[in-house]
Amino acid sequence: MAIQTIPTQVFTDQRPGTSGLRKKVGVFMQPHYLENFVQALLNVLNASDASNQALQGKTLVLGGDGRFYNRAAVQMILKLAAANGVARVLLGCGGILSTPAVSAVIRRRQAFGGIVLSASHNPGGPDGDFGIKYNAGNGGPANETLTEAVFARTKVLTELHLSNAPDIDMDRLGLQQVEHMQVEVIDPVADYAALMRELFDFDLLRGMFNRGFTLRVDAMNAVGGPYAKAILEGELGAPAGSVVNAEPLEDFGGLHPDPNPVNAQDLIAHMNAADAPDFGAAMDGDADRNMVLGRNFVVTPSDSLALMTAHATLIPGYKDGLLGVARSMPTSAAVDRVAKALGLPCFETPTGWKFFGNLLDAGRVTLCGEESYGTGSSHIREKDGLWAILFWLSLQGATGKSVQDLVTSHWLLYGRNYYTRHDYEGIAVEVANALMADLRAALPTLQGRAFGQRTVSLADDFAYTDPVDASVSKNQGVRLLFDDGARVIFRLSGTGTEGATLRLYLESYEDDPVHQNEPVQAKLTELAAVAEQVAGIRIRTGMTGPSVAT
Ligand code: G1P
Ligand code: ZN
């Protein structure tokens, strides 16, 4: 075994997006592509103290969602880590760790940080996507200062430091060695399961299953499977087979592991069938997202966050109440109404989980959520799919109400925020940029303008000043806020790997119970027409409608 220094050429496209560096597998498989990014990361981490050897004596956590290239990437990262001074790596057995589990392990074991190999909900396999992101010592996604520093480093990188040690056996639990670096292969589920036991009343949940409660959890052939099986079936006694598509596959078995009603159609069909189980749920590629359903009833993520907030004290982990709540800007304002009623601080952040980190660390919020099927709490610094499933199970167990009952009685009390997101995928980048630039230029003319019965009370480009560190994030999305509580929001995705994706978010508020059970898309057609009128999406893109509407 020896540590080698190898010259390398710069790649100019390694700027991390909303959630780490994501590219097509083919891009990652180019010689030195992964190596360069990891080397730049390790250089930046080492430079975080004056010695320039900040990783000396430190532990990193490593694991991924099991997608194609996960295993090769693990071996490569170990060789780089060993050559760059890392003392110890905690590696999920088989190279497997869900995103929430990485966060949990970093925090429980007080690691310096962790590397997650995942492109989240993006498709996998040789023609799919791969991704890598760094989580800091708080267990949360690296902040923008760090990701920008890594990007800057990738542009001037000249050499790699790499061990030529043989591959380790990542399927064998216990200690191994790469150079002087210790690799401990750990059970991917154990730390995470211990954390869930601290938050939820497992006896209550066991009792539910004993009395015949049924559920179907679709892990979409992704990394959530082993966690859901071990906890729901193994520990809580849910009937065998309650967790389906439970084995992580390199290509997710061809499924698109993005839990929404469009991609999880099989689950929707089961929940709409005559013999539907009491509760349904799905998770995404790295198990940080969740979709929850009742019989013939889909819960929107924005409503999910609002209901969790309203009922949090029923859960042991939150029985003393919440410090505050946060949602991303495009997420519906349903939670704001609950926060107001409960007297809780409520924060509106830009899209991406990293913006919740400071609020959680500073003890300003306990729950956070995004419209994109992500909810989480201060137990870790990532959103957490299985945690959300356990939360909703607990709500049903504690109240004895069905999912549909819980949600419709919530609407009666707080009103309903009708909500949809329209994605226009694969737009030419120039077209998308021009559309956003023109919208921004038109903001002054939109302010105060009337559309039918509604008037725009605020037209702006969302900017956020972090209340903890005062950092400012600009250009986070164009917002049209109307006088009746409706909102139309435009932003470009920061996680796609092909062209640009325009996301259009539509929301209207309905406090009249007579009108709270209407079809969502129909209810929002008028706002969709406003969006079309001001942005000209169809004319500019040549698309006749959104690629996906959820
Ligand atoms: C998307 C979601 C966002 C989420 C991110 C990572 O980002 O919209 O809420 O945090 O994935 O899971 P986007 O593609 O919109 O930048
Ligand atoms: Zn994810």
Q: Domain check: are 323 and 420 in the same one?
A: no
Last residue of a domain, one of 188, 216, 245: 188
- Of the residues 140, 163, 188, which one is the last residue of a structural domain? 188
Evaluate: CB of 260 within 6 angstroms of ligand 1: no
Let me know whether 350 and 472 are in one domain: no
The minimum-distance atom of ligand 1 relative to the CA of 496 is 14
Co-location of 301 and 346 in the same domain: yes
Note whether 247 and 262 are same-domain residues: yes
CA of 453 to the centre of ligand 2 (A): 39
One domain for residues 312 and 458: no
Ligand approaching nearest to the C-alpha of 99: 2
Q: How far, in Å, CA of 226 to CA of 62, rounded?
A: 17
| Domain match, 369 and 220 both | yes
Look at residues 294, 285, 290 and name the one whose alpha carbon lies nearest to residue 388: 290
For residues 404 and 485, state if they share a domain: no
What is the pLDDT, as a whole number, of residue 496?
A: 76
Q: What is the pTM of this model?
A: 0.96
Closest CA to 129 of 68, 179, 182: 68
Give the CATH number for residue 276.
3.40.120.10
Q: What is the pLDDT of residues 163-205, one digit of tens each?
A: 999 999 999 999 999 999 999 999 999 999 999 999 999 999 9
Q: Whose CA is nearest to atom 1 of ligand 1?
A: 495
Question: Where is pLDDT greater, at 19 or 219?
Answer: 219
What share of the chain has pLDDT > 70, as a percent? 100
Residue 130 and residue 119 in contact, taking contact as beta carbons nearer than 8 Å: yes
Based on the domain organization, do 335 and 468 belong to the same domain?
no
404, 436: one domain: no
Q: Is the CB of 18 under 6 A from ligand 1?
A: yes
Q: Domain of 13?
A: 3-188
Residues 494 and 385 in one domain: no
* Residues 510 and 538 reside in one and the same domain: yes
210: which 2 tokens? 């004993």
pLDDT at residue number 17: 83
Residue-level pLDDT at 22: 95
Query: Do 430 and 354 sit in the same domain of this protein?
Result: no
**Nearest bound ligand to CA 22?**
1
Q: Which secondary structure element, helix H or strand E, spans residue 84, and what is its range?
A: none
Rounded to an integer, the average pLDDT of 73-80 is 98
Write out pLDDT tens, residues 135-147. 999 999 998 899 9
Domain boundary at 414, 432, 463, which?
A: 414
- CATH number of the domain at 492, please: 3.30.310.50
Q: How many domains does the chain have?
A: 3
Q: Decide if pLDDT at 257 tops 80.
A: yes
Which among 506, 292, 258, 508 is positioned nearest to 404, based on CA atoms?
A: 292
Q: Is the Cβ atom of 349 under 6 angstroms away from ligand 1?
A: no
